[in-house]
Amino acid sequence: MDPRRLRDLLERLQRGETSVEQALALLRRLPYADLEMAKVDHHRPLRQGAPEVIFGEGKTSQQIAAIATELLGAGQNVLVTRLDEGKAAALAPALPGLCYVATARLGRLESSPPVRRPCAPVAVVAAGTSDIPVAEEAAETLGALGLEASRLYDVGVAGIHRLLAHAEELQGASAAIVVAGMEGALPSVVGGIVGCPVVAVPTSVGYGTALGGLTALFAMLTSCAPGVCVVNIDNGFGAAMCVHRMLPAAARQVQP
Amino acid sequence: MDPRRLRDLLERLQRGETSVEQALALLRRLPYADLEMAKVDHHRPLRQGAPEVIFGEGKTSQQIAAIATELLGAGQNVLVTRLDEGKAAALAPALPGLCYVATARLGRLESSPPVRRPCAPVAVVAAGTSDIPVAEEAAETLGALGLEASRLYDVGVAGIHRLLAHAEELQGASAAIVVAGMEGALPSVVGGIVGCPVVAVPTSVGYGTALGGLTALFAMLTSCAPGVCVVNIDNGFGAAMCVHRMLPAAARQVQP
Amino acid sequence: MDPRRLRDLLERLQRGETSVEQALALLRRLPYADLEMAKVDHHRPLRQGAPEVIFGEGKTSQQIAAIATELLGAGQNVLVTRLDEGKAAALAPALPGLCYVATARLGRLESSPPVRRPCAPVAVVAAGTSDIPVAEEAAETLGALGLEASRLYDVGVAGIHRLLAHAEELQGASAAIVVAGMEGALPSVVGGIVGCPVVAVPTSVGYGTALGGLTALFAMLTSCAPGVCVVNIDNGFGAAMCVHRMLPAAARQVQP
Amino acid sequence: MDPRRLRDLLERLQRGETSVEQALALLRRLPYADLEMAKVDHHRPLRQGAPEVIFGEGKTSQQIAAIATELLGAGQNVLVTRLDEGKAAALAPALPGLCYVATARLGRLESSPPVRRPCAPVAVVAAGTSDIPVAEEAAETLGALGLEASRLYDVGVAGIHRLLAHAEELQGASAAIVVAGMEGALPSVVGGIVGCPVVAVPTSVGYGTALGGLTALFAMLTSCAPGVCVVNIDNGFGAAMCVHRMLPAAARQVQP
Amino acid sequence: MDPRRLRDLLERLQRGETSVEQALALLRRLPYADLEMAKVDHHRPLRQGAPEVIFGEGKTSQQIAAIATELLGAGQNVLVTRLDEGKAAALAPALPGLCYVATARLGRLESSPPVRRPCAPVAVVAAGTSDIPVAEEAAETLGALGLEASRLYDVGVAGIHRLLAHAEELQGASAAIVVAGMEGALPSVVGGIVGCPVVAVPTSVGYGTALGGLTALFAMLTSCAPGVCVVNIDNGFGAAMCVHRMLPAAARQVQP
Amino acid sequence: MDPRRLRDLLERLQRGETSVEQALALLRRLPYADLEMAKVDHHRPLRQGAPEVIFGEGKTSQQIAAIATELLGAGQNVLVTRLDEGKAAALAPALPGLCYVATARLGRLESSPPVRRPCAPVAVVAAGTSDIPVAEEAAETLGALGLEASRLYDVGVAGIHRLLAHAEELQGASAAIVVAGMEGALPSVVGGIVGCPVVAVPTSVGYGTALGGLTALFAMLTSCAPGVCVVNIDNGFGAAMCVHRMLPAAARQVQP
Amino acid sequence: MDPRRLRDLLERLQRGETSVEQALALLRRLPYADLEMAKVDHHRPLRQGAPEVIFGEGKTSQQIAAIATELLGAGQNVLVTRLDEGKAAALAPALPGLCYVATARLGRLESSPPVRRPCAPVAVVAAGTSDIPVAEEAAETLGALGLEASRLYDVGVAGIHRLLAHAEELQGASAAIVVAGMEGALPSVVGGIVGCPVVAVPTSVGYGTALGGLTALFAMLTSCAPGVCVVNIDNGFGAAMCVHRMLPAAARQVQP
Amino acid sequence: MDPRRLRDLLERLQRGETSVEQALALLRRLPYADLEMAKVDHHRPLRQGAPEVIFGEGKTSQQIAAIATELLGAGQNVLVTRLDEGKAAALAPALPGLCYVATARLGRLESSPPVRRPCAPVAVVAAGTSDIPVAEEAAETLGALGLEASRLYDVGVAGIHRLLAHAEELQGASAAIVVAGMEGALPSVVGGIVGCPVVAVPTSVGYGTALGGLTALFAMLTSCAPGVCVVNIDNGFGAAMCVHRMLPAAARQVQP
C-alpha cells in the first residue's frame, strides 16, 4: 500500500467519507501490503525492461507457456532458464517470438529490448569448453538484464598464458563472472589480476574427486585472492543476478 | 614497469644511449614487471588510505610486529586480522598506536585516517549474538577501507518481525553483509527485501547438524533469493573485501 | 492374548477343565500374544476408520492389488503411498473404487469415510511449487486419517510477506507441517510465528549444494526456533503420521 | 498493537481527537507491532509460569547473571541450559536461589513453581547410561514447563526385555522422548509399542562410525516406525520444547 | 610344491639322480608353488562339493558361460552371483542345467549335490520385504556351501513381537545372518537374544537419510550388542562366506 | 522364568495350592522373565569363568570400583576396557588384585582363572606398531574369555614377506583378528591365505586421508577376499567378542 | 617470442630499421609470447611423435572429427580418450585410419609411429578384471607416447602369490602403474616390492563402501609404502602422462 | 637368500657335506628370503648413503633413541620425521650429533654425508608461508637422499606474476614438488609451465571449506594439467620419497 493511499484513507475517515469498520478491514491487510510497497524500490530496476524469470526445470511446456503468456500480456519481458531442447520445441507454437539459446539452455522473449546499462562490459570467463553452457547462461542472463557480456573462454590455469594475454581486457570490466569446474582455480588467478568484483561459479564438470562440483566450490571459497564471492554449482543465472545487484547500486550513486 | 619507462628505454636504445645487451637484461624482467603494472589500477584504490592486511593466525607476535613496522615505515595503514588477545598484548610495546578490537579479533594501526567513500552505509546484519565476532570483523574491515558500516544484530529468522522492523534501513544500504550460523536462513530473507548486493557469511555457530558451518554455507548457496553470493565460513574479512571490490566499480562509473 | 482369556484359562485349569500340558502349550505363545494385546490400545485409534498403509515403491501392481483386496475384505480402508501413475493405472481393474491422487503419488480406497477428528485444521505449508508433491502426500494422508488439511503453498522465505499474510490462519492451526527444499528455512520462520507443533519436512528439491535434501534437513535440525521437529527427506507421509500421533493424545484427554 | 487500540486510534481520528499526521506516525510502526501481537497467543502458554530460557554456552557467567536478574525482576522464571559446573558456581553469589542440576547441565530459578499441566507424564527414555545427561536436560526442561517426566533409563535394544518390561508404563505416557546414541535404534522399537507422539533425540555417544551422533540421527530419520520425529544431536531441550508445543494444542481442545 | 616333493628332489640330488642346475630351475618356482600348497588346506573344504563362484555383474553372458563350462568340465559346482534375469535367460542354452533363483539374483549349477555340513541351520533374518533379495543371496549361497538356511523374514524392530515370537528358533541356530536396511537396528536386537555368531548385512533399502545403506552400515558397526560383525552393503554372498569360514573351523575340531 | 517353574505354578493352581489371582500376578511378569530365561543359554558360556565387562570410558574410577566390587562379590571375573592409566591408578586401593595392562588400556581382575577353551590359538595380527594397542585389547580380551592369542605384529602389506614368513602359523589358527589402520589392506591378504574366520579391525592410525579410520574401515568392507567381516574402528574388544561367539558354536557341535 | 627474435628487434631499433612505436606494439604482446616460448621445452618431447590428446567425453563425433582433422593436417598424431563405441563408429568415415581400442575406450590415429623411448617397459598392473579398462587406457596411452607397456592383470592382494610370481618382472620395470578398485591395496604391496616409481590409479570398481572409488583413492594416499603417488579415480590416461613426465627427465640426463 | 648361496647349498648337498634335513630346514625359509633378495635391488640405492627413516609421531624419545642408536651402529644414516621440539631436546643427550630442523620437524644424523645424485635440483614450491613446514620436510628429506632442493616459497596463484618470475628456474628442475593448502591450485599452474614430473602435496592450511586439506587434495587430483600426481595431506616426506623413486630410474638408464 502506497503511503499516499494510506493518507487518503485516513483523510477520508477524518472527513467521514468512510467508516471505521471499512478502514479496519483495509488496514488488516496493511502490514504486508506495506511491505510489498517497500519492495518496489527493489523491483523497479528489474521492471525497467528487465525480464521476469521462469525456472524451466520441473515444469511442463504447457505450464511454462501459460506463465509466459500471462507475463507477456502484462508487457513483461520473459526469461526461461534450464529449458531443454525438447521443451523449447514444444513451446514454439504457443510462444512464437521465443528465442532459444541451446548452449545456455534458456529462452528469451522480449516485448521491448532491455534498456542498456551505462557501464563497462561484464567479463564472463570460462576455464574449459565444458564450462561454456554455464558461462552462456550467465552471459545471456546479463544480456536480458541490459548488461553487456564480454566472453573469454578456454583460459584454464594449466595454460596460464592464455588468460594473461587478456589481462588488459579483464582489467577494464565492470565485474567478472568466472566459471570453472575440476579444481576451480581460475577465480583465484583472476581475482589476483583485477580489482573489480569477481563472482565465481563452480561447475559440475569433471569426474572422480571433482565430486560433482563440490571440489571446485570448496576451492573457490578458500580462494587465496581476497574478496572473491561464490554462487551455487552450475548457477550461471545466479551469478548474473549477483552482478545485477551490484550495478544498480552503482547506478544509484551517480544520480545527484 | 611503467609504459613510459619502457618507451624511455627504447628511445635511449634508438639514440644509442644504451646497448642492446643492457636493454635485453632489463627486458628479461619485463613480463612480470609489466604485469605488476597492470595490477596498479587494482591496487590504487587500496593504497589511497586503505590498509595492508596481515593474517595474524599462525604468525608470532614478533613476525607480525616486523611486517607491520615495515609497512608503517612505507606510510601504509595496517590491518591485522585473526589476532587473539594474547598476541595483541604482546604487540603493544612494538606497535604503540595499535587499536585492538577484541570482539572482531583484529587490530588497526592507521598513519592517516582512511579516505571516506562517497556511498551509503553497508548494512552488516547478524542473526544471533554468537555471530557478532564475524560480523564485527566485517564491520571493522569496512571501516579500515573507508566504508561506513551500519550494524543490525540479533535479527534471526525465528523472530522475523525484528528484522522487518528495519526493512527501510536495509533498503537504503549500498550493500548488505549478512552473517548467520545454524540454519543460515537470514540471507534468503534479506535478499528478498533488498535490491542491493547481498554477501552472505556462514558462521561455525551451532552444534550437531550445524556441521561447523557447512549447513549454513550450503543453505546460503541454495538460497531461493536470486543473486545472493557467499564467502567462506567465518570469513567476515572476505565479505568486506568483496563489498570493497563492488564499490570502487561504482565509483569509477560516476566519473565523467 | 486378552487378560480375560488368560484368566479363563487359569480358571479352567483350576476347575480341572484343562490339563497342565494344554495350559503350558497355550502359555508358550503367551509372551508375544500378550505383547500384541498391549499394542491394541495403540492400534485402536488407527482402526476406527483409519486406513491400513501400503508402501507402493518396490511392489508390483499385482502385489499391491492382493494386499489391498485382503484389507478391504476385512473392512479396512486402504492407503497406498509412493504409487506411480503406471501402477495406479494397472491397479484400476482390480481395485475399481481406487481414487488416485497423481500430485501426491498415492491412492485411497475407503470402505467408509474416515471419522473426522474434532480439532482445528492442520496447516500444510510448502515453500515452492516443486515441494507440492511432498506437501500433498502429507495433506492426503491427513485426510485419510480424519484430519482436515489447510494448504498454504508457494510462501518461501525469499518473499516473506506472502507467508506473513497468512499469519492468522497459521496461528489457528492445530499443528503445522512445513515442507521446504533448497535452504530449508521456512520451518524456522513458521516456528517463530506459531505456538502449535511444527513438523518440518525437507525435500530433495534443488541442485548443487542442496545435496539431495541433506542441506534442508540439517538446516531444519539446527533451526533457531525451539521445538521444531523433523522427519526424513521427502517423507510427507511420515509428517502426517507424526501429527496423527499428537492429536489422538489430545483426543484421549478430552474424554472424561 | 492491539486491534482494540487500532480501533481506538481510528475512532479518535474520526472524532477529530487526533490528526492525520499523528495517525500516520503511529501506523508506520503498525506492521511489526501487529505481528508482535499475533505472537501473543503463542507466548501466552509459555508465560503462564513457564521459564524464559538462556542458552548458557558461549556466554560468560556475568552475562548470564545480568540477563537472569532482569528476567527475575520482571517476575519470570529462568532456565539456563548448557551451563557447566564452573559457571554455575560463579553464578551462585549473583543468583542465590539458582538450583543447579549437574547431570542435566542446567540451572533453574523459579519465582513461582511452574503451573502443572493436566496431562499424563511424558516418558523420557534413554538407551544407555552415557545418554543420561541429554535425557536429564529434556526431563528438567519438561519440569520447568509444568510437565511431569517419567524417567526410564538404560533400556537399550541389545537387552530388549528391559524395555519391554516397561511397555505398559510407556503406553500410558502422553508423549515419549527417546534418547539414544550409537546405532540409535531405540525410537523405532518404542514407536512400535506406543501410539503417542515419539520425539527421538540422537546423542553424540559412541566412537568410530557413530560419527559424533550423525549415525544415530540418520537411523532415527529412516526409522521403520511411522510418525517418529527427530531433533538435533544432543538437543534434549529441543525435544522438551517440541512436546511443550504438542500438549497446549491438546489443552486447547479440551475446553468447550 | 608339496613338502614331500621337495624332500624327493633333495634326496634325488643327494643320490646324484638330478643335477644342481635342474634343482635350481625347479626351486626358482618354489616360493609361490609352496605358497600355493599352503593354501590347499584352505581350499580343500571349499572343493568338497563347494561351488566355484563367478561374480556375474559386469560380465557378459558369453564370458560367464565360458568360465562355467570350464569349471564344470573340471567337475566343479558353479555359483553365479549378481546375475540378472536377462543374462540368466541368455545363459540357458549354453548351461542347460542352470537353476536360476530370481529373488536371489543367482544361478546354481551342480554336478553333484553339495555335501551337507553336520551342524544346526543358519538363521537368515530379514527386517523388511525389500531386504529379501539380499537375504536370499545369503541363503542360496549357504545352500550351495552345504549349509541349511532357516529363513525368518519381515521381523523388523518396529514390530518387535514378531521377532521375539521366534526367539527359540534363533537360539538354536549355529549362526545368524541378519539383513536390514533403513536404520539397521535388527542385528543389535538379535545379538542381544542369541549367543551364536551374528553377521550383519546392511542393505541399500530406504531413501533420504538411509544414504544408500551407509546409515544401516554405520548403525550396525556401532551396535550396542557386543560381538556383532558386519559385511559390505547388500553383500549377502559375503555374509554366507563369512559363516562358511566359521563352520569349517568347528568341523576341524570335532575330528579326533 | 524357568519352564519347570511355570509347570510348578500351573500344577499348584491345579492342586488348589495357589489362587488364580496369584497366578495372574506371577504370569503378568512372564513375557520378559521367559525371555530372560531364553537368554540363559547365551549367557552360560560367558559365566563359566568369563568376565563381566565394564566399559571404562566416561565412567569415574569410583563408579568403576563400585560396579567391579559388586561383580566380584557375586563371584564374577571382571574386565574393564578403555581404562586410562590415571583411572587405573585411582582404582588400585579399591580393587587390590586388579591387573592393569597399559598397552591394551584395560584391567583384569579374576576370582578364578578363565576356563581354557579346547581350540587352537586365535591369531591376532597387527599391521604396524601403532596398531598394537587395539590388537592388545583384542588379545587380552581373548585371554579373559579363555582363548589363547597368538600375536603377530608389524607385518603390514608394504613388506609382504614378513607376513608370508608366518603363513603356516596363520593357517593353524582357529580364527584371525587382523588389525590395521591407514589403507587397511592387511585383512584382504590374510583372508587370501587362511580358511578360518577373519575378523578385521580398522584403527584410527594415520593422518590426512586416513580420515580417522574410515578409510581402513571402508577398505576392509570392500575387501576382495570373500568372507572377511568387520567391526567398528579401534574396537579390539568387539573383535574378541565376535570370535568368542564363533567358538562356542563350534564347541557345541563337538558334543555328541 | 624467441630471445633471438627479441635481440633482432632491439638491433633493428638500434639501427633505425624500426620505430619506437612499432617496437612498443610488438613488446606489448611480449610477456605471454615469451612465456609460450618458455613452454617449448616442455612441449618438445611431446611433439616428437607424441600425440595431441582429445578428451572425447562431452564432445560430439563431429566436434572430435573436426579437431582431429585439423591436427592431422598439421602432421600431429592424435589420441582420443573416453571415446565410446557409438562415437567411434560415427567417426570412422571422417577419420578412416582411426584405430579404436574398445577396452581402453580410446582411438589412436598416427601419421607416423611414435618414437620408441630407450627405456625398460612400464609395468601396468591391474588388481581385477573389472579394472582392465582403466589399465588399458594407461597402457595404450603409454604406447602412443612411445613407451612400452608390460601388462600384468588380475593379481589382486587376496591371491598375493599371483602377484609375487611376477616379482622379478616388476623389479625390471622403469615405472609401475598400479590400477585397483575396491580396497585399493595393491599399490602398497607393489610399492614394497619395487624401487621404481609407482603411480597408483584408483578405480570406481566395487559397490557399497567402495564409494565410487573414493575408498581406493584414500587407501592409496595413506599407503604404508613410502613414495607411492596417486592420480584421480579411473584416470588411466593421467597415470601414463605422469610416467611420461618422469621418463623424459631421465632421458635428458643421459645426454652429455 | 642369494642365488649363489642357494647353489652352494645344493652343491654341498650333492657333495654330501650337508644332510637333506638341514637343506630342508634352510629351504623352509626360502620363499621369503628369496623375496628379500629380490628387494635388494630396490634397497641398494637407499643404502648408498641414504638414511633409514623413523616416523617420530607416536613414539617416545626413548624408543626413537634406541632405534637410532641401533641403526647408527650398523653404519646407517638416520632420518627422524614428525619430530616435535620437545622430543628433539630429549633426544639430544642420547644422540649427540643429531641435527634438528625445527621448521621441517625432523632430525638428521649422518655417519657419512649422503652421496650427491648427478641430476639437476628438485624445485620445492610452496604457495604460502603456512605451507613452508611441509615444504621443508620435503626439502630436508631430499637432502638426506642426496638430492639438491631448490626452494621457491610464497608464490601462490593469487599473485601469479611471482611464480612466473621463476619460470626459467622451474623449467630447469629435474622434478617439482608443489606444496599448497586452501584451494590447492598451484600444481595445475606449475604443471602447465614445466615438463618434468610434478608431485603435488596438499596441506591442511586454511579454515572452513578447506576441510583440513581435503579440498586442496581433491583439487589437485582433478587438476587440468595432465600428469600431475598427488600424495597424502601434509606428506612432504612422501613427496620426496616419490621423487627419490623417479631419479634412480633415470640413473639406471645412464649406465651403458
Residue E109 near residue E88, CB atoms below 8 Å: no
For residue B214, give the chain C residue with the closest CA: C215
Split at pLDDT 50, 70, 90, the class of G43 is: very low
* E33 lies in some domain: yes
Strand partners, H80: H54, H107
Burial (CB < 10 A; 0-12, 13-18, 19+), residue B21, is exposed
Least Cα distance to H158 among E9, G201, A157 occurs for A157
Of G159, G188, G207, the CB nearest to F158: G188
State whether E27 and H30 contact (CB < 8 Å): yes
Do residue H64 and residue H165 come from a single domain? no
For residue A168, give the chain G residue with the closest CA: G28
Q: Which amino acid is at F39?
A: K
Q: What is the residue range of B90's domain?
A: 3-113
Interface mutation vs chain D, best among B157, B209, B211, B215, most D CBs within 10 Å: B209
Within chain E, how many helices (H) and strands (E) appear? 11, 9
Last residue of a domain, which of B113, B131, B158? B113
Instruction: Express each pLDDT in G48-77 by its tens digit.
Output: 446 788 888 888 898 899 989 988 887 788
Task: State yes or no: pLDDT of E11 exceeds 60.
Answer: yes
Radius of gyration of chain G measured on its C-alpha atoms: 22
Split at pLDDT 50, 70, 90, the class of D180 is: very high
DSSP per-residue codes, E146-215: T--EEEEES--GGGHHHHHTTHHHHHT-SEEEEEE-TT--HHHHHHHH--S-EEEEE----SGGGGGGHH
State whether B229 and A226 contact (CB < 8 Å): no
Helix (H, G, I), strand (E, B) or coil at C89: helix
Interface mutation vs chain B, best among D60, D232, D235, D241, most B CBs within 10 Å: D232
Last residue of a domain, which of F113, F135, F150? F113
Task: State yes or no: pLDDT of G240 exceeds 50.
Answer: yes
C43 at the D interface (CB within 8 A)?
yes
Report pLDDT for B73. 83
Do chains C and H have 3 or more beta-carbon pairs under 8 angstroms? Answer: no
Quote the cell numbers at residue D135.
535425557
* H142 lies in some domain: yes
Report pLDDT for H47. 42
Instruction: Express each pLDDT in F150-172 by its tens digit.
Output: 999 988 888 888 888 888 889 88
Report pLDDT for C50. 64
Do residue E11 and residue E93 come from a single domain? yes
d(CA C170, CA C38): 37
Interface mutation vs chain A, best among B179, B246, B247, B252, most A CBs within 10 Å: B246
Instruction: Express each pLDDT in D121-140 by its tens digit.
Output: 999 999 988 899 999 999 99
Helix (H, G, I), strand (E, B) or coil at E15: coil
Instruction: Express each pLDDT in E155-171 by its tens digit.
Output: 888 888 788 888 888 98
Picking from A40-54, F119-133, G3-17, G30-44, which range would have the lowest pLDDT averaged per residue?
G30-44
State whether A204 and C208 contact (CB < 8 Å): yes
Task: State yes or no: pLDDT of C40 exceeds 60.
Answer: no
Last residue of a domain, which of C69, C90, C113? C113
Mean pLDDT of chain G: 83
What are the backbone dihedrals phi and psi of residue B75, each rounded to the nearest 5 degrees, phi first?
Answer: 80, 15
Instruction: Express each pLDDT in F139-148 by its tens digit.
Output: 999 999 999 9
Split at pLDDT 50, 70, 90, the class of C218 is: very high
Select the more confidently predicted residue: B11 or D202: D202
Report pLDDT for F125. 97
Report pLDDT for G21. 80
For residue B133, give the chain D residue with the closest CA: D58
Split at pLDDT 50, 70, 90, the class of E199 is: very high
What is the number of other CB atoms lying within 10 angstroms of the CB of residue F4? 8
Do residue A93 and residue A16 come from a single domain? yes
State whether D16 and A13 contact (CB < 8 Å): no
| End-to-end alpha carbon distance in chain E | 28
Report pLDDT for D5. 67
For residue B189, give the chain C residue with the closest CA: C158
Do residue E45 and residue E25 come from a single domain? yes
Chain B residues whose beta carbon lies within 8 Å of the beta carbon of residue D232 = 207-209
Task: State yes or no: pLDDT of C34 exceeds 80.
Answer: no
Do residue G206 and residue G224 come from a single domain? yes
State whether B174 and A237 contact (CB < 8 Å): no
What burial letters (b/e) apply to D48-87, b meaning 16+ CB within 10 Å?
A: ebbbbbbbbeebebeebbeebeebbeeebbbbbbbbeeeb
Picking from F40-44, G93-97, G163-167, which range would have the lowest pLDDT averaged per residue?
F40-44
Mean pLDDT of chain C: 83
Distance from CA of E167 to the nearest CA of C (A): 10
* A255 lies in some domain: no
Distance from CA of C6 to the nearest CA of A (A): 59
Mean pLDDT of chain F: 83
* D10 lies in some domain: yes
What integer is the mean pLDDT of F113-130?
A: 89
Task: State yes or no: pLDDT of A216 exceeds 80.
Answer: yes
Task: State yes or no: pLDDT of B148 exceeds 70.
Answer: yes
* C82 lies in some domain: yes
Do residue E87 and residue E194 come from a single domain? no
Split at pLDDT 50, 70, 90, the class of H4 is: low
What integer is the mean pLDDT of B135-147?
A: 95
> F175-180 and F198-202: which strand pairing?
parallel
Interface mutation vs chain H, best among F209, F214, F215, most H CBs within 10 Å: F209
State whether E232 and G165 contact (CB < 8 Å): no
State whether G194 and H42 contact (CB < 8 Å): yes
Task: State yes or no: pLDDT of F1 exceeds 80.
Answer: no
| H-contacting residues in E 18-37 (Cβ below 8 Å) | 20, 23-24, 27, 30-32, 34-35
Chain B residues whose beta carbon lies within 8 Å of the beta carbon of residue A42 = 171, 193-195
Do chains C and F have 3 or more beta-carbon pairs under 8 angstroms? Answer: yes
Report pLDDT for E53. 87
Report pLDDT for D98. 94
Report pLDDT for G167. 83
Burial (CB < 10 A; 0-12, 13-18, 19+), residue G73, is exposed
DSSP per-residue codes, F172-206: T-SEEEEEE-TT--HHHHHHHH--S-EEEEE----
Do residue E159 and residue E76 come from a single domain? no
B165 at the D interface (CB within 8 A)?
yes
B213 at the H interface (CB within 8 A)?
yes
Do residue G188 and residue G232 come from a single domain? yes
Interface mutation vs chain D, best among B189, B207, B215, most D CBs within 10 Å: B207
Task: State yes or no: pLDDT of E97 exceeds 60.
Answer: yes
d(CA C148, CA H142): 75
Q: Which amino acid is at E160?
A: I
Distance from CA of C3 to the nearest CA of F (A): 9
Task: State yes or no: pLDDT of A36 exceeds 80.
Answer: no
For residue G33, give the chain B residue with the closest CA: B31
Chain H residues whose beta carbon lies within 8 Å of the beta carbon of residue F208 = 202, 204, 213, 217, 232-235
Task: State yes or no: pLDDT of G165 exceeds 70.
Answer: yes
Split at pLDDT 50, 70, 90, the class of E8 is: confident
Chain G residues whose beta carbon lies within 8 Å of the beta carbon of residue F225 = 157-158
Chain E residues whose beta carbon lies within 8 Å of the beta carbon of residue G130 = 58
| A-contacting residues in C 172-211 (Cβ below 8 Å) | 207-209
Do residue E157 and residue E234 come from a single domain? yes
Q: How many CB pairs under 8 A join E and G?
A: 26
What is the number of other CB atoms lying within 10 angstroms of the CB of residue H254? 14
What integer is the mean pLDDT of G229-234?
A: 96
Interface mutation vs chain G, best among B14, B15, B17, B22, most G CBs within 10 Å: B14
State whether H207 and B35 contact (CB < 8 Å): no
Split at pLDDT 50, 70, 90, the class of B11 is: confident
Report pLDDT for C39. 40
Find which of D8-17, G182-191, H165-174 is predicted with most confidence, using mean pLDDT.
G182-191
ipTM above 0.85, yes or no: no
Task: State yes or no: pLDDT of H125 exceeds 90.
Answer: yes
Task: State yes or no: pLDDT of G36 exceeds 50.
Answer: no
* H254 lies in some domain: no
| End-to-end alpha carbon distance in chain C | 28
Chain G residues whose beta carbon lies within 8 Å of the beta carbon of residue B34 = 30-31
* A254 lies in some domain: no
Chain H residues whose beta carbon lies within 8 Å of the beta carbon of residue F162 = 32
Do residue A183 and residue A163 come from a single domain? yes
Do residue E70 and residue E11 come from a single domain? yes
H118 at the G interface (CB within 8 A)?
yes
Percent composition of chain E: helix, strand, coil (DSSP 3-state, to 5): 50, 15, 35
Report pLDDT for G131. 93
Task: State yes or no: pLDDT of A32 exceeds 60.
Answer: no
Of C160, C162, C208, the CB nearest to A213: C208
Do residue E96 and residue E202 come from a single domain? no
F233 at the D interface (CB within 8 A)?
yes
Instruction: Express each pLDDT in C76-123 by its tens digit.
Output: 889 999 999 999 999 999 999 899 999 999 999 988 888 888 889 999
What integer is the mean pLDDT of G92-108?
A: 93
pTM here is 0.84
* G256 lies in some domain: no
Task: State yes or no: pLDDT of H186 exceeds 80.
Answer: yes
Find which of A12-16, A153-157, C133-137, G108-112 is predicted with most confidence, using mean pLDDT.
C133-137
Counted domains in chain H: 2
Report pLDDT for B248. 57
CATH code for the domain of G193: 3.40.50.1970
Give the Cα-Cα-Cα angle F55, F57, F58 (nearest 5 degrees). 115
Report pLDDT for G3. 54
